[in-house]
Amino acid sequence: MTWAVARNVETVRFIADHNTTTSANLERDPRATLQIIGKDNLLFLIKGNSKHVRDRVEAASFAMIMMEMAVTEVKEQSWPIVEVSPLTYIWRGEKKEELLAMEQAVLKELSEWEPN
């Protein structure tokens, strides 16, 4: 599970945790697929070639890298006879508001960050 933002019809930015199998695999082989699952039976596969564009997501309170995918294929996968429910999570505890604000800041950074 990760955060992702479509910058336009050709580009999706997403997050990968530092020093994980996922980030190592993406560095070795840039081919990637994102599965997007949303409410109202939104279900897509987005395929493309990814690249590491930023070593650190500044808005995040933990170490994540920013990846960018050049979209080569989008496949709609909803099924007319079944509805898929998205995975959801709820921030809890004392830092709930802080984590919600961090999440919104991460999404904003994914949308707006530009390389120098």
Question: In the chain, how many domains are there?
Answer: 1
Alpha carbon distance 11, 99 (integer Å): 26
CATH of the domain at 56: 2.30.110.10
Give which of 40, 42, 41, 22 is closest to 32, Cα–Cα. 22
Residue type, 51: K
pLDDT at residue 10, as a whole number: 96
Which structural domain, as residue segments, surrounds residue 43?
A: 4-112
Amino acid identity at 84: V
What does the pLDDT read at residue 66? 96
The rounded percent of the chain whose pLDDT value lies above 90 is 76
Beta bridge partners of 48: 32, 71
